[in-house]
Amino acid sequence: MTSEAFILCENLVKIYKVADLEVVALQGIDLTVQSGEMLALVGPSGSGKSTLMNILGGLDTPTAGRVSVGNYNLLEMTRREQVLYRRREVGFVWQQTARNLLPYLSAQENVELPMALDGVPARQRSQRARALLEQVGLGARLRHRPDRLSGGEQQRVAIAVAMANQPRLLLADEPTGEVDSEAAEQIFNTLRAFNRDHGVTIIIVTHDASVASRVDRVIGMRDGRTSTEIVRRRAEDGQIASADEYAIVDRAGRLQLPQAYLEKLGIAERARLKLRHDHVGVYPDRQNE
């Protein structure tokens, strides 16, 4: 791979055991993310997006494979390292607005809490919390409790909470899933601003096509694997100059073709391959007809 990756997943596997059933939630994910990237993770329900986010957030441990974020090897963390990792290296924003904030604390107190847990002195906490709430556009709502804020405002407080200890990684699992499109726009812009101004690496799980269309890289997941990737290039003026679509090829050479391509060409079960000097042709298996 290229220069030191910030996030590195290699053949990452997660198996949940439920009674005597095994659910393979991640089937060998390979993923590299550079520091400062902002990327979206998309895919059907059950494809493993939240599982991957929970592993990257240090909330769940993988069954096998390798995964590291910065200097942390997430597979071999001690309990203490895990606590520090969650407190300092990574911030999390959940879809359910209620899950992000404590209901009996004001916006400012919510943002101060992770700093208090990390031993930041009171004055510094209070200053930083105010600055963060101003950055997310809620400087006039410091003393409001969550129930007096709209869903979109609560999510922006949640972003301020997630950024409180200046993590290098921000994970947002469907942060705009429960708000209207105008609030979603503000949430996205807030995330974008933190990425641009503070260089925080951001991964957003989203079903929202307009969010996915405005990040530089979109990773598609399917059945516990990364399947496709869209990479956008920007011209000098910031406008999107081109968008290239890729299929991910894993270490074993497996590649997933988009469902739409399979349907269009009637490819099922097997395809004929032809190696050309600079590409591989994939053809329907006409012998089946």
Ligand X SMILES: Nc1ncnc2c1ncn2[C@@H]1O[C@H](COP(=O)(O)OP(=O)(O)O)[C@@H](O)[C@H]1O
Q: Which of 2, 45, 239, 287 binds ligand X (CB under 6 A)?
A: 45
Q: What residue type is assigned to position 241 of the chain?
A: A
Enumerate the β-bridge partners of residue 64. Answer: 13
Residue 93 contacts ligand X per CB under 6 A: no
Q: How far is the CB of 248 from ligand X (least distance, A)?
A: 16
In what helix (H) or strand (E) does residue 132 lie, and over which residues does it extend? helix 122-135
Near ligand X by CB under 6 A: residue from 3, 4, 18, 103: 18
Q: How far is the CB of 18 from Mg ion (least distance, A)?
A: 17
Task: Name which of 96, 120, 121, 101 is nearest 111 in CA terms.
Answer: 101
Number of residues counted as binding ligand X (CB under 6 A): 12
Residue 176 interaction partner, one of Mg ion, ligand X, none, beta carbon < 5-8 Å per kind:
none
Strands 169-173, 21-33: pairing kind: unpaired
- Contact string 225-244 vs ligand X (x = CB under 6 A): --------------------
Q: Which stretch binds ligand X (CB under 6 A): 28-36, 49-57, 62-70, 75-83?
A: 49-57
Q: Quote helix, strand, coil % in the chain, to nearest 5.
A: 35, 30, 35
Site string for Mg ion, 178-197 (x = CB under 5 A): --------------------
Q: How near is the Cβ of 51 to ligand X at its closest, in Å?
A: 3
Return the CA Rg of the chain: 21
To Mg ion, the closest distance from the beta carbon of 49 in angstroms equals: 5
Binding-site size for Mg ion (CB under 5 A) equals: 1
- Residue 122, CA atoms < 13 Å, CB-side half-sphere: 0
Task: Please identify which residue in 47, 50, 176, 228 interacts with Mg ion, judged by CB under 5 A.
Answer: 50
Give Cα separations from 61 to 26, 67, 145 (angstroms): 12, 10, 33
Site string for Mg ion, 5-44 (x = CB under 5 A): ----------------------------------------
DSSP letters for 139-201: TT-TT--GGGS-HHHHHHHHHHHHTTT--SEEEEESTTTTS-HHHHHHHHHHHHHHHHHH--E
Smaller CB separation from ligand X, 48 or 152: 48
Q: Please list, in sequence order, all residues whose beta carbon lies within 8 angstroms of the beta carbon of residue 257, skipping any fewer than 6 positions away.
A: 247, 267, 271, 282
Q: Which residues sit at the interface with ligand X, rule CB under 6 A?
A: 16, 18, 23, 25, 43, 45-51
